[in-house]
Amino acid sequence: MASIRPLIRPWTSADRETLLEMVERGKSKAAISARLKRSMSSIDREARQLGLTLRKQKAAFTLAELDDQAVGRWPSGPAATSRSKPGAP
């Protein structure tokens, strides 16, 4: 039985142009990936080959904060003061 190979879609010049434009506008790797319907690793690889630098992505919340939010707790301390809590005026 033949093995199944994943479908590899070659990059077109239009794909590369879209990648370049989105990088220049500061779009995130996730946004570029969604727009081009390609994996983030594919975006990384092509950007590297073109000599482009993708912007660093910063998480909006830490995993601990997301867990606290899921159970109705919010973190306290300096990091929490910069974000508004749900239901707060």
| Burial (Cβ within 10 Å: 0-12, 13-18, ≥19) of residue 32 | buried
Domain range for 20 is: 13-50
Where is pLDDT greater, at 37 or 62? 37
pTM comes to: 0.58
Q: Could you read off the pLDDT of 1-57 as tens digits, one per residue?
A: 567 777 789 999 999 999 999 999 999 999 999 999 999 999 999 999 999 988 776
pLDDT of residue 14: 97
Concatenated DSSP letters of 43-62: HHHHHHHHT--PPPP--SS-
- Dist CA 89 CA 68 (whole Å): 20
Domain count, the chain: 1
Residue 21 lies in a domain: yes
Residue 1 lies in a domain: no
pLDDT of residue 7: 77
